[in-house]
A and B are shown apart, each in its own frame.
Chain A
């Protein structure tokens, strides 16, 4: 690319970067305003950095507890998703067995099921099996919700792994499980990281599934807590903005850390392969 075209692209991209940072800054600004200040002028800079809203948001609905709940549930869900998803992805992409295309089609169909259509039956299945209002129940609901996505993705990714690599391992006497553990898992690092980020983001930001599966107040997840800061008439926007900030910052930190690993992980994965 010529020097000129690089810079001519950089300008609009920098503007877009500004536009993508703006809402976060806006949220942070609103979060440090008083309600009165917000009603009078939404855009002006807060006169002082106020921590009161963060404090209210954190304490009013027991955010600490919700934070821990979210952390437990999201971690367990993502680990399970990646494990089950990569196992299935490996089998569906590299091993030929009776029924594999039917299974892949089933996953694909499951990908297109809107949550609303299965919401009530799923709640009933969970309630009947005693899993409602338990951590395993919510984890299972998340795994079910995002597994088709994860399998679809891991299958496409593993399809691109050349047969020669697997053949070589087979000649060395590895079983299918050995190939999965020693070759497919390390080789899949970039895909696992990216899909892990997205799965984690989906689970972390989910409100509806969590509300449905965890009816007790002390089993709530963070985003549910944040959402319930808005009443029927969404009156206290500054406190809500503070809650949004509490929920968003950890995700941002994790993303900023992992997005380097995605690109770095490719090199690591491929050399091992």
Chain B
């Protein structure tokens, strides 16, 4: 995982650097690159080619099987469906998309997800912190928190459908303490939060794995030093751990966002089918409906292209924001 700190023993080989709070990657990279350029002159040809050889397979795969199909797919979004199959229709599909209240609703839900994102990152982050700080039972937690991540979303959805049914056990418990029943999946103001909650619950184990790998290389003496100085737990987390793990956090942010925007289909399909009243539509589900159910593949392509652009912008924004935060910390 993107671990902010070099392994402890490696760090000690580097005299003159103190504190783990500095974004160490930057400095290393700069010194590394200077060195490479200096040496490049006298290096044998084979060695100069080495970087290209090393990246070649990755570049080939990504260009041929990701970027090239992306271009083809984006191109397809400018053609028509049904009667106009194969003909160029310019921006018609995009205009139709943005006129469709359902798609606009899906985009609003994307906005909501972006707002919820920090919570979805903070939960596994905090849990990993506590496990790292060895709360009683940490070994057990480290193992079982990953359990939901191995279950298929369909079964997770089916279980929560039962638990959250109007006459289900959760409402029975709420009723017992005098809180009226909540229609978790039937109330348009509540359903989206319910589904996102279940998604976070079902996937936090994966982010936890990433965080734990990050913690594995965190310099324990830093936390110890802060503790000796009398720092409280929130202070330690905020001033010591978070800045040291900025790369891990950045990575979890990006992958959690991708997970929320592209892999909630299973849950949506089972738990709400986009309803009630269309309130839980996400672009991904919209694409599935248009492509499979309504047979509008070109319109679906346009929707996927929009989804790609949104993810690109939001993702890059997050990366640069976090990078800046890392520098300032």
Complex A–B touching at CB under 8 A: yes
* B181-211 interface (Cβ within 8 A of A): 201, 205-206, 209-210
Residue A247 interfacial (CB < 8 Å) = yes
Q: Which residues of B contact A6 (CB under 8 A)?
A: 133, 135-136
Residue B273 interfacial (CB < 8 Å) = no
Q: Number of contacting residues on A, CB 8 A?
A: 112
Q: Is the interface of B mostly helix, strand, loop or mixed?
A: helix
Given contacts A9-B135, A112-B311, A190-B3, contact A118 B216 (CB under 8 A): no
CB atoms of B159 and A106 under 8 A apart:
no
How far apart are the CA atoms of A20 and B150 in the complex, in Å? Answer: 11
CB atoms of A121 and B52 under 8 A apart:
no
* B294-319 interface (Cβ within 8 A of A): 297, 300-301, 304-305, 307-308, 311-312, 315-316, 319
- Which of B4, B35, B72 makes the CB contact (< 8 A) with A121? B72
How far apart are the CA atoms of A191 and B248 in the complex, in Å? Answer: 11
Residue B84 interfacial (CB < 8 Å) = no
Q: Which residues of B contact A191 (CB under 8 A)?
A: 1-3, 213
Q: How large is the interface on B (under 10, 10 to 19, 20 to 34, 35 or more residues)?
A: 35 or more
Q: Which residues of B contact A71 (CB under 8 A)?
A: none
Give the contact stretch, choosing among B53-61, B98-106, B112-120. Answer: B53-61
Residue A84 interfacial (CB < 8 Å) = yes
Q: Which residues of A contact B251 (CB under 8 A)?
A: 152-153, 156
Residue A96 interfacial (CB < 8 Å) = yes
Question: What is the distance, in angstroms, from B274's C-beta to the closest C-beta of chain A?
Answer: 15
Q: Which residues of B contact A21 (CB under 8 A)?
A: 144, 147
Q: Which residues of A contact B205 (CB under 8 A)?
A: 20
CB atoms of B144 and A120 under 8 A apart:
no
CB atoms of A23 and B159 under 8 A apart:
yes
CB atoms of B6 and A162 under 8 A apart:
yes
CB atoms of B65 and A17 under 8 A apart:
no
Q: Which residue on A lies nearest to B32, using beta carbons? A: A163
How far apart are the CA atoms of A118 and B69 in the complex, in Å? Answer: 5
Residue B179 interfacial (CB < 8 Å) = no
Q: Which residues of B contact A43 (CB under 8 A)?
A: 162, 169
CB atoms of A122 and B69 under 8 A apart:
yes
How far apart are the CA atoms of A84 and B59 in the complex, in Å? Answer: 10
Q: Which residues of B contact A5 (CB under 8 A)?
A: 233
Q: Which residues of A contact B51 (CB under 8 A)?
A: 91, 95-97, 100, 176
How far apart are the CA atoms of A227 and B148 in the complex, in Å? Answer: 17
CB atoms of B213 and A87 under 8 A apart:
no
Given contacts A147-B58, A163-B35, A191-B1, contact A20 B9 (CB under 8 A): no
CB atoms of A106 and B62 under 8 A apart:
yes
Q: Which residue on A lies nearest to B25, using beta carbons? A: A159
* B151-186 interface (Cβ within 8 A of A): 151-152, 154-156, 158-159, 162, 169
Q: Which residue on B lies nearest to A175, using beta carbons? A: B47
| 15 residue pairs from A and B, CB less than 8 Å apart | A7-B136, A24-B147, A24-B151, A42-B162, A84-B58, A88-B57, A95-B50, A147-B66, A152-B251, A153-B2, A153-B251, A156-B247, A156-B251, A177-B50, A190-B1
The 6 closest A-B pairs by CB, nearest first: A156-B2, A270-B7, A117-B304, A144-B65, A176-B50, A121-B72
